[in-house]
Amino acid sequence: MSSKVLEILNAKEAYQCWLQYKKIEDGRQYDEYASICLNLAVVGDSVILNSALQELIQAVTSMFDKEPLITNYADPDSSIILGTYQDINLTDYGVDASIMDRLNEEGYLLQTVNNGKRDCLLLVGKSDKGTLYATHHLLRLIQTGEAINDLTIVESPRNQIRMLNQWDNMDGSVERGYSGNSIFFDNNQITTDLERIKDYARLLSSVGINAISINNVNVWQVETNLITSKLLPEVANIADTFRRYGIKTFLSINFASPIELGDLTTADPLDQDVKKWWKDKVKEIYAHIPDFGGFVVKADSEHRPGPFSYDRDHADGSNMLAEALQPFDGIVVWRCFVYNCMQDWRDRSTDRARAAYDHFKPLDGKFHDNVILQVKNGPMDFQVREPISPMIGAMENTNQILEFQIAQEYLGQQKDLAFLIPMWKEVLDFDTYAKGEGSTVTAIVDGSLYDYKFSGIAAVSNIGNDINWTGNTLAQANLYGYGRLIWNPNLTAEEIAGEWVLATFGSDSTVLENITSMLLDSREIYENYTTPLGIGWMVNPNHHYGPNVDGYEYSRWGTYHFADRNGIGVDRTIETGTGYAGQYFSPNKKVYNSLEECPDELLLFFHHVPYTHKLKSGETVIQHYYNTHFKGVEQVENLIVKWTMLEDKIDEFRFNNVLDRLKMQLANAKEWRDQVNTYFYRKSGIADEKNRTIY
């Protein structure tokens, strides 16, 4: 037996994440569920339907310790019937078939019906993908202990595109990866371990993910070759695996590929030879991957090539690719993370926060309808607290997709606990007022506010080849929660956390209570001991973990917080600052621009204030910094206490994995507390009112 197999066996629960399908020990639940789950029938035939059936078989065999019978769907003993509504005549079971009219193509029906002999459960999708999602919905109900003997559930995903962006490099590394190396690439080769990719596809389909780009948005020389005939057959093997679980494969591409691959001397998007090159290349890709999703593109940012090199704009660049993809129904996902990383931050007229809006807003309406602009949730870079990007909703005539980051680049890198769902809920619930009150981010990215042709949400993945996928076992909750939230943004953070804990750790009440509370409190805890009041950054350059109050890659241009002996914060007001606040719709524009109205949690993002400025809580800014940094350390100590209480209730691997991470977090929190408090004590000369030790 290989060491890899032994490792998986020793950490079986960690590897399986929330798809453990533990044996049901409760006798009453066992009898109720078994009466429904042990006779399965599938109607129709497709690779996705087969995946749904195999998932049911695997789950039922594990939970009931016996294999289900697979019967003909006409058999009156069938207790679960799964298929699409094209193949299952709902009226035969007394169900109004028009119910399917209100579903989109990935929607489904779970309904208890009587087949003339017995009650049975229909799992009927609008398409085979819908049937797969219905299967996972049923299994989720069982794992969380819900009744399934009288169901009527009609559900569709709220967002059309539900995507993951891998930041994997072909050398096997993962940019901003905190969970080991890539599961897709190693030593500049494409992996042949399709079993692990299949397991990843199962995890993603269980929470409704339907698209993935498998390589880093920063496409270097080796990765440029992914679109060549040498590597496309191997990319196709990966795409085949994802296809079986309803997931389309995308590739991040190098805008300068015509040059990098040695065919042309220019990548000018208006050059006819360049246009032809891309059209030929796209035909080649679709010959290998008939349902290829399209391209993800990072251009003209952080030294990546783009249309600016040829005095063209981003509409020119993206439209050229869109024209090549259009005959195959492919799309271009064009990232709006475009800014001059060499700009002088000391120049108040130059504000990185403004960059995306300034670059793209004037181009609204100039993009082809198979171009989607991908916009980070905040204007900077996935900080622990920043305002919603004013780009979201600003372009009425251009498809938009929102970008989150599941990988905790600036939130503890999966060493420190940070459950991101509450933060994402804040983003989705935010009212932009783009078309008046009620213009929430949810309504923009689901396409309903502006009737976008393409819309949805993407996120940077947090997985690697660590045995538990995410380094910190508790970070699995962010991947799970991302999928569940973008499927249904109405779910609460509490509901999502509870689902994940029950499916992952079982139904013990202490386990459920402690881990749920740890998750829900964690983002605020992390914010307390790092960068409260919206100032952001203050991290070590390059690797972005741990405090460095004046640190950032481009620190030669000054700091982001503009702290001096008198005060701290960035003036982004219309009258005296960078004018960034003016990019928002009213009344948000007025609120952020006003020192009196600006929410305290974003105060230092929008305003430069004296250390003695009083917050709405009555605390001064400097005292708030002292208090939160001391409090944050105490809160991490309490996390350790809560986790230690579970030692006899959780397997050794996962218990020790999380405990080790919490100890790292405590050391990190103390370092943040001491460095930040010391820095601002020395900068301001103002002592802590509580006379605590500041070095």
Question: pLDDT of 370-413, one tens digit each?
Answer: 999 999 999 999 999 999 999 999 999 999 999 999 999 999 99
User: What pLDDT score was predicted for residue 347?
Assistant: 56
Where the chain has pLDDT below 50, the residues are 342, 555-557
User: What pLDDT score was predicted for residue 63?
Assistant: 97
Q: What are the backbone dihedrals phi and psi of residue 374, each rounded to the nearest 5 degrees, phi first?
A: -100, 120
Q: Are 523 and 422 in contact (CB under 8 A)?
A: yes
Q: Which two tokens stand for residue 200?
A: 């990843």
User: What pLDDT score was predicted for residue 71?
Assistant: 87
Residue 587: asked if its preceding bond is cis (omega within 30°), the reply is yes
**Sign of dihedral through CA atoms 52, 54, 60, 62?**
negative
Q: Which of 128, 268, 409, 524 is catalytic?
A: 409
Q: Which two tokens stand for residue 37?
A: 């789950």
User: What pLDDT score was predicted for residue 326?
Assistant: 98
Supply the angle between the helices 128-143 and 493-505 in degrees, to the nearest 10.
80
Cα–Cα nearest to 387, from 353, 348, 435: 353
Helices and strands, counts by H and E, the chain: 21, 18
Q: Taking the CA atoms of the chain, what radius of gyration do you get in angstroms?
A: 26
User: What pLDDT score was predicted for residue 556?
Assistant: 47
Alpha carbons 325 and 331: distance in angstroms, whole number: 6
**Span 104-161, pLDDT tens digits:** 999 999 999 998 788 999 999 999 999 999 999 999 999 999 999 999 999 999 999 9
Q: One-letter amino acid identity for 478?
A: N
CA–CA distances in Å: residue 630 to residues 432, 530, 671, 677: 35, 11, 11, 9
The question of whether 381 is a catalytic residue gets the answer: yes
**Span 310-348, pLDDT tens digits:** 999 999 999 999 999 999 999 999 999 887 654 555 555
Q: Which of 369, 381, 494, 521 is catalytic?
A: 381
User: What pLDDT score was predicted for residue 555?
Assistant: 47
User: What pLDDT score was predicted for residue 72?
Assistant: 79
The question of whether 302 is a catalytic residue gets the answer: yes
The question of whether 186 is a catalytic residue gets the answer: no
Q: Which of 171, 234, 302, 521 is catalytic?
A: 302
pTM: 0.97
User: What pLDDT score was predicted for residue 343?
Assistant: 53
